[in-house]
């Protein structure tokens, strides 16, 4: 399974190394079928997402050049210089597209996103915002739900709090997408499709002027 991205204007492609992934996350050796299901599902439904290292809840980065570290070539390696890095877990990194809201007040929020450097995609007359996310695997995966987190600056640009029970957000941008005891093992692509997509849509409604209680009505993500 190959992943690819652009680093400093140069396209990089690499083979995802299962053994290197297992070296960073013990659950991979215990449940290799869970990783395979995620690699296959993400390749089909979210092909631009990247499996990377997690270092203490943050993206694992190279101590020499600061680029991402990913499981490849027998270790967790830097995408830029191939230096071996450190990671104590795994996470997925990418964007989820969501339709920009049509309400007039949202135009200011959309402009703020552009000014902050966040990408959007236009198809004809339709504009999609690209919500930047990380999905962290817990040590007990797949028995425990993943940690889905928005980029804090993306929430800031939309005028949304990073932590608010009313907004289903806790701990600096972490999305509350499962009620207590609701988690049932599912692959990462299903988490994004079934939970995260709706959560983003509700946040954009709030950014367009709706009250949180109305934007999230009837939904436990």
Each domain of the chain, given as residue ranges in start order, spans 2-92, 94-215
Give the β-pairing of 69-72 and 75-78: antiparallel
Distance CA 217, CA 194 (A): 16
pLDDT by residue (tens digit) across 165-195? 999 999 899 999 998 889 999 999 999 999 9
pLDDT by residue (tens digit) across 114-169? 999 998 999 888 999 999 999 999 999 999 999 999 999 999 999 999 999 999 99
Whether the bond between 184 and the residue before it is cis, its omega within 30 degrees of 0, is no
Would you say the pTM of this structure is higher than 0.75? yes
């Amino acid at each position: 399974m190959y992943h690819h991205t652009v680093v400093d204007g140069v396209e990089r492609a690499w083979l995802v190394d299962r053994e290197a992934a297992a070296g960073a996350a013990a659950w991979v050796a215990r449940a290799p079928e869970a990783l395979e299901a995620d690699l296959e599902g993400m390749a089909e439904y979210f092909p631009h997402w990247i499996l990377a290292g997690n270092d203490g809840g943050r993206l694992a980065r190279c101590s020499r050049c600061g680029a991402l570290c990913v499981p490849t070539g027998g270790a967790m390696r830097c995408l830029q210089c191939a230096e071996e890095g450190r990671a104590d877990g795994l996470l997925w990194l990418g964007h989820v597209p969501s339709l920009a809201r049509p309400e007039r007040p949202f135009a200011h929020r959309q402009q703020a996103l552009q000014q902050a450097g966040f990408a959007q995609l236009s198809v004809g007359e339709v504009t999609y915002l690209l919500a930047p996310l990380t999905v962290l695997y817990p040590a007990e995966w797949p028995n425990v739900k993943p940690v889905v987190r928005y980029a804090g600056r993306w929430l800031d640009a939309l005028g949304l709090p990073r932590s608010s029970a009313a907004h289903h957000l806790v701990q600096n941008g972490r999305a509350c997408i499962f009620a207590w005891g609701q988690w049932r093992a599912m692959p990462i692509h299903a988490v994004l499709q079934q939970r995260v997509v709706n959560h983003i849509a509700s946040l954009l409604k709030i950014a367009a002027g709706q009250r949180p209680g109305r934007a999230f009505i009837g939904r436990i993500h």
